[in-house]
Structure 1
Amino acid sequence: MFDRHPIVSTNDPEEARSRVSQTYREHGLQVSDQAKRFRLTHNGMVVGGIGLYFMSYGARVRISPGVFEDFALVQIPLRGAALDRIDGTAVDTHQGMGSIAGPDSSLEMEWASDTSKLVLYIPRHTLEGAAFALSGHPSHGEMQLRPAMDFTLPAQRSWFGLVRSMVEGIGQNSPLMDNPLVSSRIADTVVLGLVANQWEDPVQQVAHGPLEESDAVDAVIAMLEDSPDRTWRMVDLAHATRMSARALSTAFQKKMQTTPMGYLQQVRLRGAYRDLYAATPALTTITEVATRWGFAHLSRFSAGYREAFGELPSETLRR
């Protein structure tokens, strides 16, 4: 995995310890009596602000990094098994069961000899930013993460699908992974999904209940009408109304016969109509107006515009 992005390959345990420390942090490395089979393979790279790495030691090892301070470590066995002790909690990891050690967590690991892992390195500030986006309040340094990650469960399995898409992109040298705007958006989604699945938000556990359905829909309408130029996501709207995304979407559909994102498109189309109607044709282009209102695909914009107003954008502009 990540063969095109090698970091180090060595059968010297001390070199292995030193080079791996440069990626993560200083740690202790003890090799069992299978030392003659020891060979570290460490590949990977940083994409969108998070590290994705492949690691294998070839022998039974005990790794003692101690307490993390400024990052979290997600470990996903691809082969073999390992015992991870995170803040004293033992997690038996294998294919289908991973682990996460968050900032300020202590970690001790025992890898079986045939173990290889996909490892994600996520900076603390990135985790805290995702926690704020999901909850609407700062974590205040409290990032208590559930250590076990059971990939037989739907939410964790879906999250791993996101990670796999990043891995495949790196392995295939996809140009998308070289585009910082694209790779950072994918990485943000991965971290948001991770925090949504694993974070035990102490404030959320004592938060006020959700808004009444009608009030929630009215609140969303007001937000979309007031700031149609904002990059709205369902997670933003759900947390603003203290409802789940599914419950909010259902309530909105019931009252408005469309989804929140569908309503946002209607708001933006009305804005585009006003701009085109007031514009001087010689000084304004349809592409300019469409882009201003967040429509990247001109053909889709024109089709939606015609459905909404019964005419093409060019007809409105010529009036």
Structure 2
Amino acid sequence: MAQLSAAVPGDLSKLTTLVHSNDLEETRDIISNAYSPYRLDCLGDAREFSAWYAESGFPGITVSGLQYGSPHLGAETLIRPQPLGTYLLVCEVTHGRVTVSSPGREECRVGPGETYVLDPYRGFQVHWSPGARMITVRLAREAVERAAADALGVEDPVRARFALGGAISPQAARTWAGISGAVLREVLGEGVARTNPLVATHLTQTAAALLVGTQRLITEGVDAQRTGVVSHAAVRRVMALVEEQADQPHTLADLAATARLSPRALQEAFRRHLDTTPLGYLREVRLARAHQDLLAAGQDGSATVSDVAYRWGFSNLGRFATYYRNQYGHPPSQTLIT
């Protein structure tokens, strides 16, 4: 294999290098196996062609680094992969520019710090400027389409496609950059996700949920839900958990893990569907259970106000009394003696 003279870029040297070559045929074979079969052409003097590809990851996510050509030479590169099929790629350009297009559909020019998503269903091509470099995050199609179903409030995975135009807003772009940076730190810093399946699963689910929440999602054939029914599957999962285990300690992070959403996404879903927050809903359920217990204790003297409050997770009696009065119009002690 012909070796490149340039060093592998930055901290990405911690990835496992699969290609570091001036050989176009060798590069095509190796990267076709890593991604999907693709056509690779050098646009210019073939002697100026070069490629570097490296990857690493943990169960559920693969991070890759990829560079074609040199910024000091003139050769550009054109790749035309087949549809990805079983996974999605979120691509962030770090150096140079690429032009990505889906023939007959969209085309966008992407520069440093900008991202685009390649979904599993479309054909596409990417035109690389000399020395352009990117980092990609690979997610299984199944994880993303489950997250899309949760976000849309349907039970079955949906056929999720993404527009090429990047995040839905600057705020969304920053949110995706946050989870992408966390994933990269786990991989390059040899974090616990590499050896802890539970952490890997949660991080993968969070990344999939944030991808759906921050990028331009296109879906087809999703049926509208009946009016008056809480259609968001993630919200229903949390509601069921709270109803079954209202006496157990729950944090927002716990509920988000049950929902398979990020805490922020879960809060937004609860506000949209129930006009409350996850912890607000938990408090309402606990107050209702406390109310029933106080009514029963008023008949048989089996408990005090503090007994009932502590049973349902209210460690601060003054705060419990305030919540209770706001909900029922009188203090809990009055329920107990009526």
Q: Alpha-carbon deviations, 1:102-143, whole Å to 9, x = none?
A: 121111110101210011222222222222332342566622
CA separation of 1:94 and 1:150: change in aligned 2, threshold 3 A: farther
Aligned length: 266
Alignment of 1:228-239 (within 5 A): 232-233=255-256, 236=259
Give the whole-Å Cα distance in 2 for the aligned partners of 1:107 and 1:237.
Answer: 31
Q: Are 2:188 and 1:171 equivalent residues in the alignment?
A: yes
Give the whole-Å Cα distance in 2 for the aligned partners of 1:249 and 1:237.
Answer: 17
Alignment-mate amino acid for residue 233 of structure 1: A
CA separation of 1:234 and 1:7: change in aligned 2, threshold 3 A: closer
Q: Are 2:85 and 1:77 equivalent residues in the alignment?
A: no
Q: Which has the larger radius of gyration?
A: 2
Find the counterpart in structure 2 of residue 259 from structure 1. 280
Give the whole-Å Cα distance in 2 for the aligned partners of 1:53 and 1:16.
Answer: 15
Contact kept, 8 Å, 1:100 with 1:147, in 2: the verdict is yes
Give the whole-Å Cα distance in 1 for the aligned partners of 2:168 and 2:52.
Answer: 25
* Aligned partner of residue 181 in structure 2, secondary structure: helix
Question: What's the offset of the Cα at 1:227?
Answer: 5.1
Alignment of 1:117-266 (within 5 A): 117-137=134-154, 142-150=159-167, 153-198=170-215, 199-202=217-220, 206-208=224-226, 224-226=242-244, 232-233=255-256, 236=259, 244-245=268-269, 247-248=271-272, 251-252=275-276, 259-260=280-281
Contact kept, 8 Å, 2:59 with 2:200, in 1: the verdict is yes
Alignment-mate amino acid for residue 307 of structure 1: S
Give the whole-Å Cα distance in 2 for the aligned partners of 1:219 and 1:166.
Answer: 26
Question: What's the offset of the Cα at 1:47?
Answer: 2.1
Find the counterpart in structure 2 of residue 97 from structure 1. 114
Give the whole-Å Cα distance in 1 for the aligned partners of 2:168 and 2:51.
Answer: 26
Q: Alpha-carbon deviations, 1:39-93, whole Å to 9, x = none?
A: 2111122323122101001241000113332222221101111111125310111
Contact kept, 8 Å, 2:85 with 2:121, in 1: the verdict is yes
* Aligned partner of residue 41 in structure 1, secondary structure: strand
Find the counterpart in structure 1 of residue 51 from structure 2. 40
Give the whole-Å Cα distance in 2 for the aligned partners of 1:237 and 1:185.
Answer: 8
Alignment-mate amino acid for residue 54 of structure 2: N
Q: Are 2:28 and 1:17 equivalent residues in the alignment?
A: yes
Question: What's the offset of the Cα at 1:232?
Answer: 3.3
CA separation of 1:26 and 1:138: change in aligned 2, threshold 3 A: farther
Tell me the percent identity. Answer: 18
Contact kept, 8 Å, 1:83 with 1:109, in 2: the verdict is yes
Give the whole-Å Cα distance in 1 for the aligned partners of 2:193 and 2:267.
Answer: 34
Give the whole-Å Cα distance in 1 for the aligned partners of 2:313 and 2:202.
Answer: 28
CA separation of 1:221 and 1:187: change in aligned 2, threshold 3 A: closer
Alignment-mate amino acid for residue 183 of structure 1: A
Find the counterpart in structure 2 of residue 317 from structure 1. none
Contact kept, 8 Å, 1:249 with 1:259, in 2: the verdict is no
Find the counterpart in structure 1 of residue 304 from structure 2. none
Q: Alpha-carbon deviations, 1:172-229, whole Å to 9, x = none?
A: 22234432211221121111111223323446684455669xxxx9997676223558
* Aligned partner of residue 44 in structure 1, secondary structure: strand
Q: Which moved more, 1:166-175 or 1:107-116?
A: 166-175
CA separation of 1:179 and 1:110: change in aligned 2, threshold 3 A: same
Alignment-mate amino acid for residue 55 of structure 1: L
Structure 2, unpaired ranges of 5+: 1-10, 70-74, 291-309, 319-338
What is the CA RMSD across the aligned residues, in angstroms? 4.0
Contact kept, 8 Å, 2:175 with 2:214, in 1: the verdict is no
CA separation of 1:128 and 1:202: change in aligned 2, threshold 3 A: same
Compute the TM-score of the two structures, normalised by the length of structure 2.
Answer: 0.65
Q: Alpha-carbon deviations, 1:245-269, whole Å to 9, x = none?
A: 362599336xx9x5236668x69xx
Give the whole-Å Cα distance in 2 for the aligned partners of 1:155 and 1:39.
Answer: 34
Contact kept, 8 Å, 1:13 with 1:38, in 2: the verdict is yes
CA separation of 1:110 and 1:142: change in aligned 2, threshold 3 A: same
Compute the TM-score of the two structures, normalised by the length of structure 1.
Answer: 0.69
Question: What's the offset of the Cα at 1:96?
Answer: 3.7
Alignment-mate amino acid for residue 60 of structure 2: G
* Aligned partner of residue 198 in structure 2, secondary structure: helix
Give the whole-Å Cα distance in 2 for the aligned partners of 1:73 and 1:246.
Answer: 29
Contact kept, 8 Å, 2:121 with 2:161, in 1: the verdict is no
Find the counterpart in structure 1 of residue 307 from structure 2. none
* Aligned partner of residue 118 in structure 1, secondary structure: strand
Find the counterpart in structure 1 of residue 68 from structure 2. 57
Find the counterpart in structure 1 of residue 315 from structure 2. 307
Contact kept, 8 Å, 1:249 with 1:260, in 2: the verdict is no
Contact kept, 8 Å, 1:127 with 1:191, in 2: the verdict is yes
Give the whole-Å Cα distance in 1 for the aligned partners of 2:194 and 2:100.
Answer: 31
Find the counterpart in structure 2 of residue 66 from structure 1. 82
Question: What's the offset of the Cα at 1:147?
Answer: 1.9
